[in-house]
């Protein structure tokens, strides 16, 4: 759908952001018969270096929607346990095979495939409208200047004004919605950033996710079949120092962490082949104001630890649909309704972020601090020794990562005669 110059539209719900939270929420609302417009600033979902982990909690939702088998027919990899190399010692620290879910594994799939799947399903509903190449630039306030009445956007063919009973901010950690809404943010801090890159993959490489800790450095490799999506963890603000050392020094560090890459590290021709992800952990003190609700990373930016950000955002979307479908259908949506979503989702957000901050400060920070120190004792910490010795302990982190706190379930029902022929 491509609006013409200076288009004015009216809808029940306008969702800003076509990421996991926005697309899943748009699907659920349209499925219930609610007119919804989703704004996506890009032409498609084909962007690299996004979260690729579809956790058991999300797969459970797909099963409740009757979409699981079709989804799993898409190319993906399945991870039933998480392991790492600490120095040269293998460690297993999460076992998903005992989870009380239909799928006892994490599915690794490029996020664009996940989004294309849900967007395709959403387009079957006449109430769903996806506007690509349409970037939100401002919010429309009411006459009192306190309530939100919609969004002003820049479209491919001109300005777009969208009036809505409810506006949803789902446009990520760099959200224009929460900036324009002037919602106060609580910054929890992060001691690290991440360098993302791709390196070709060969059949002789490790079959799935590869994690390595070695003398102040950490590397994660995600299997994308024909290439590795690599995440090299660095100290916060340390990218300039790495660039000053030069690309050859960086290639050598990559090779030390992943010797199986061999000459393929030379595929990194320059730092132009590397993308910096500035890690942030924060959350809004209040997720809403009259006519506006923020969810996903827009409400709470997550650390990449555990890969839980995409799944927490989807859980937000499900809770939003469960709690707001009835008042949206009845035309009675109020700020009290929006506050219910925050009350429902704030505990799992706080609990997850608390664990991420602990992991950042007690594990990642300590690892990174060893970078410029002499070679240290590489013996395993006691907790990892216990997990290696007692497999039952691996179920605890698997439950936290795979299911999370207060998992949501589908409570809404499809509207009658609500599918395009």
Which class for 176: exposed (0-12), middle (13-18), buried (19 or more C-beta within 10 A)?
buried
- What's residue 149's pLDDT? 96
Q: Please, are residues 28 and 65 in contact by the beta-carbon 8 Å criterion?
A: no
pLDDT in 10s for each residue of the chain, 421 residues: 445 556 899 999 999 999 999 999 999 999 999 999 999 998 887 665 566 789 999 999 999 999 999 999 999 888 898 888 887 788 888 999 999 999 999 998 888 899 999 999 999 999 999 999 999 999 999 988 889 999 999 998 899 999 999 999 999 888 999 999 999 999 998 888 999 999 998 888 877 777 888 777 888 888 777 888 889 998 888 899 999 999 999 999 999 888 888 889 999 999 999 999 888 899 999 999 999 999 999 999 998 888 888 999 999 999 999 999 999 999 999 999 999 999 999 999 999 999 999 888 877 877 777 665 555 555 667 777 888 889 899 999 999 999 999 999 999 999 875 666 5
Per the document, the length of the chain is 421
Give how far the C-alpha of residue 219 lies from the chain's centroid of Cα atoms, to the nearest Å: 19
Q: Please, are residues 14 and 162 in contact by the beta-carbon 8 Å criterion?
A: yes
Q: Which residues contact 343 (CB under 8 A, 6 or more apart)?
A: none
How far is residue 274's CA from residue 198's CA, in Å, rounded to a whole number? 8
- What's residue 314's pLDDT? 96
Fold of 7-46+107-187+281-366: FAD/NAD(P)-binding domain (3.50.50)
Helix (H) or strand (E) holding 5: none
Our CA dihedral for 7, 11, 15, 18, rounded to 10 degrees, sits at -60
- What's residue 51's pLDDT? 63
Ranges of CATH 3.50.50.60 domains, the chain:
7-46+107-187+281-366
- DSSP code of 361? I
Ranges of CATH 3.30.9.100 domains, the chain:
192-277
Q: Please, are residues 349 and 294 in contact by the beta-carbon 8 Å criterion?
A: no
CATH class of 192-277: alpha beta
DSSP string, 15-75: EE--SHHHHHHHHHHHHTT--EEEEESSSSS--SSS--EE-HHHHHHHHHTT-HHHHHTSS
- pTM of the complete model: 0.90
The HSE-up count of residue 110 (CA atoms within 13 Å, CB side) is 16
- What's residue 361's pLDDT? 83
Q: Which residues contact 90 (CB under 8 A, 6 or more apart)?
A: 83, 84
How far is residue 138's CA from residue 150's CA, in Å, rounded to a whole number? 9
Q: Please, are residues 25 and 127 in contact by the beta-carbon 8 Å criterion?
A: no
- What's residue 418's pLDDT? 62
- The SS3 assignment for 276 reads strand
The HSE-up count of residue 99 (CA atoms within 13 Å, CB side) is 27
């Amino acid at each position: 759908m491509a609006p013409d110059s200076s288009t004015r539209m009216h809808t029940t719900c306008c969702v800003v952001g076509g990421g996991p939270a926005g697309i899943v929420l748009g699907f659920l609302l349209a499925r219930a018969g609610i007119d919804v417009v989703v704004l996506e600033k890009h032409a498609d979902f084909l962007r690299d270096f996004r979260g690729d982990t579809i956790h058991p909690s999300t797969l459970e939702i797909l099963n409740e929607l009757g979409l699981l088998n079709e989804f799993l027919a898409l190319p993906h990899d399945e991870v039933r346990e998480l392991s790492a190399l600490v120095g040269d010692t293998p460690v297993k620290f999460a076992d998903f095979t005992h989870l009380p879910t239909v799928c006892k594994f994490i599915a690794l799939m490029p996020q664009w495939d996940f989004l294309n799947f849900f967007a395709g399903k959403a387009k079957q509903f006449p109430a769903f409208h996806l506007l690509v190449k349409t970037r939100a630039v401002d919010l429309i306030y009411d006459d009192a200047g306190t309530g939100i009445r919609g969004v002003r956007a820049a479209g491919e063919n001109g300005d777009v004004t969208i009036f809505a009973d409810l506006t949803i901010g789902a446009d990520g950690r760099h959200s224009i919605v929460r900036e324009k809404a002037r919602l106060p943010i609580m910054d929890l801090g992060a001691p690290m950033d991440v360098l993302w890159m791709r390196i070709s993959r060969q059949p002789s490489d490790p079959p799935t996710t590869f994690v390595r800790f070695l003398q102040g450095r950490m590397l994660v490799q995600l299997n994308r079949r024909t290439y590795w999506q690599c995440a090299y963890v660095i100290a916060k603000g340390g990218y300039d120092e790495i660039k000053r050392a030069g690309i050859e020094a960086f290639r050598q560090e990559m090779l030390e962490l992943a010797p199986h890459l061999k000459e393929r590290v030379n595929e990194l021709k320059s730092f132009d082949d590397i993308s910096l992800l500035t890690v942030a952990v924060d959350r809004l003190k209040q997720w809403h104001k009259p006519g506006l609700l923020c969810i996903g990373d827009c409400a709470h930016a997550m650390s990449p630890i555990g890969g839980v950000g995409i799944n927490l955002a989807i859980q937000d979307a499900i809770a939003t649909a469960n709690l707001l479908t009835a008042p949206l259908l009845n035309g009675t949506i109020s700020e009290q309704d929006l506050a219910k979503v925050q009350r429902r989702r704030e505990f799992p957000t706080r609990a997850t972020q608390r664990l991420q901050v602990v992991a950042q400060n007690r594990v990642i920070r300590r690892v990174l601090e060893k970078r410029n120190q002499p070679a240290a004792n590489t013996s395993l910490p006691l907790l990892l020794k216990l997990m290696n010795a007692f497999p039952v302990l691996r179920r605890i982190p698997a439950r936290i990562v795979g299911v999370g706190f207060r998992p949501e379930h589908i409570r809404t029902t499809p509207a009658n005669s609500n599918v395009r022929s």
